[in-house]
Amino acid sequence: MTACWTETDLGWLREFMAVDSVSPLEGGRLAATRQAQEVFRAGAAERGFDIRHYASPSAQSLAAADIPMPVRRALEADPDTFLDAQPSLVVAMGDPAPPQRRLVINFHVDTVGPHVEPRLDGDILHGRGAVDDKGPGVAAAVGVAAAFAADPSLARRIEVILTSVPGEEGGAMGVLGTRWLVELGYTGRLMLFAEPTGGRVMDACTAAMTPRFRVLGEGSTDDHPTDAHNATVALGFLADHLVRAVGPRAAALGAKLCIAGLHTGTAHNRVYGEGELLLNIAYRDQTSAQTLVHELQRAVEEAREVFAKAHLGNPFTARLVDDWDRVVRLDWLKRGLPVLDNRDPEMEDLLAAAGFPRHDGLADGSAFTCDAIWAGGPGRYVAVCGPGRLDENGAHTAAEWVRVGDLATYARQIRDLVVRFGAHVPTQ
């Protein structure tokens, strides 16, 4: 069969990675997403892919109540400019076919910050996007192109689509790209999300909700500390209270509770009256999510009384105790998102034959949240599978890397999967 990975492919990936496409929701440049898409589009066109769709969602398509807060903020600031800079790119090989004869491979072009320039050290490619998610996306495209080069008759039997999407990082949760494309009908019998799983198939994904606690009170100088609503004390207390009150219940439900950022200020001679505390709760099913929302709200209701008792007679927190209900707020940056949990023995066998064995990520806690949560539906098998692993390969850290050999292996396995898919699906 045609070779799957060449120095030219590696050069394409390095050019792709060199574009600083840090999510604008993490402070990246708006123009960078489209710049990265242009690099991927040019490389895909050179390998024979057709451009099927290249556009941004409309503001009307992002009017649902479950749109995460970071996206809502960006839309409120300047919807037209923001959305125009977040296009999704759909490229394909094969004649247009109905969903039952279609394989869809998804990856995301946006990255976390900060940007890390690509650097090759022997077989190790360092840099932002190496494993999450530009490396897997390019390797998948190379594999698909190799399959159609090896067997041109595939073009009459199946259609293979690659979707390069923005909005996976930065708390966007896939609503800017993947969900929109699924709603437009870019679905298939098999939908593969090229995320780093160690080459194993995971067909269940958690979803996450993010409660935010804010103190919106009055601050003071260190000369008059009793005059303030001390946000640092309130939020520090809430972090401790919530992890003790909700943490054990979350663990029992197989959820992951993360007490994340707490910010009030940095000066030593001020009492800060405003600040915020973020939590992130990854859940595996909707029943667990509803239970945890209830547990969190109950813990919040108890917090005022617990705090008041602990600070009885303390003049430095007296104003906070008196005004707790007025200045302490709970809202949600994201909530109500779906999970993925599907099985399909037919497609599982097909993937295993191509070298992608199934792994139960829910059983050992390795399942994670990604755009695949939007793809489930009748007649589809949705699987997450890609080279490298999020933790071992330093995704979301300054030390992100991937073995070039792992990318070449993934490209070969994708080639084999496409060939097997073409032989398996009905021609009518």
200/419 Cα distance (integer angstroms): 19
The whole-model pTM stands at: 0.93
Q: Which two tokens stand for residue 156?
A: 């009459």
Residue 67 has pLDDT above 60, yes or no: yes
pLDDT in tens, 76-118: 999 999 999 999 999 999 999 999 999 999 999 999 999 999 9
Alpha helices, DSSP H only, in 279-387?
Answer: 286-310, 318-327, 345-353, 361-364
275/295 Cα distance (integer angstroms): 23
Q: What pLDDT does residue 387 have?
A: 98
**Proportion of the chain above pLDDT 90, given as a percent:** 96
428 confidence band (pLDDT: 50, 70, 90): low
Q: What pLDDT does residue 65 have?
A: 84
The DSSP H or E segment spanning 419 is helix 404-424
Q: What pLDDT does residue 405 have?
A: 97
The arithmetic mean of pLDDT across residues 250-279, rounded, is 96
Strand order in the sheet with 124-126: 119-121, 124-126, 401-403
pLDDT in tens, 196-229: 999 999 999 999 999 999 999 999 999 999 999 9
The arithmetic mean of pLDDT across residues 256-260, rounded, is 94
The arithmetic mean of pLDDT across residues 11-32, rounded, is 97
Q: What pLDDT does residue 240 have?
A: 97
Q: What pLDDT does residue 139 have?
A: 98
The arithmetic mean of pLDDT across residues 392-419, rounded, is 98
Residue 329 has pLDDT above 60, yes or no: yes
CB 125 within 8 A of CB 402: yes
Residue 396 has pLDDT above 90, yes or no: yes
